[in-house]
Amino acid sequence: MKNELNQTVSFYASVTDTRPDDANLYDLLVGDTYKSEVLAIRKERNPERQKAMKNKLPLFTPSGIFLRSDAKSLLQPTGLICIDIDGKDNAGANNFDRFKDLIAAVPYVVYCGLSVRGNGYFCIIPIASPAKFQQHFRAL
């Protein structure tokens, strides 16, 4: 897992930041720099406060290095795609809380983690052709 995730990605200090810095994807995923903030967000029960807290967190782009915060400014793709699977969109799914264990067993998923709010998962998957990113995204 580490080799595929040991890549440079764009890191934004906040949702309003338009000029990213470079960061290591693996370190962002397994580090605990923002752990206390994430745990506080998960404990918050007021959706508006939770959203405001989440918007103060930094964010990163697993799919590549970008010049600015728009899809057209991709400088270098990582060959990875990140998808979100939300609990609210899968309310009828049995054992959604076990999803992480199930999806982590899929051999082409290199990372599966709990979302910031704790109500869903995000998965990172290598793609065959970064030039066909949109086609891969739609297929997933």
Query: How much is the mean pLDDT over the chain?
Result: 89
Question: What is the pTM for the complete model shown?
Answer: 0.86
Q: At what angle do helices 35-43 and 47-54 cross, to 10 degrees?
A: 170
pLDDT at 69: 76
Helix, strand, coil share of the chain (percent; to 5): 35, 25, 35
Which 3 state secondary structure label does DSSP give 68? coil
Q: Which pair of tokens denotes residue 35?
A: 């752990």
For the stretch 22-77, pLDDT in tens is: 999 999 999 999 999 999 999 999 999 999 999 999 999 999 998 887 777 888 99
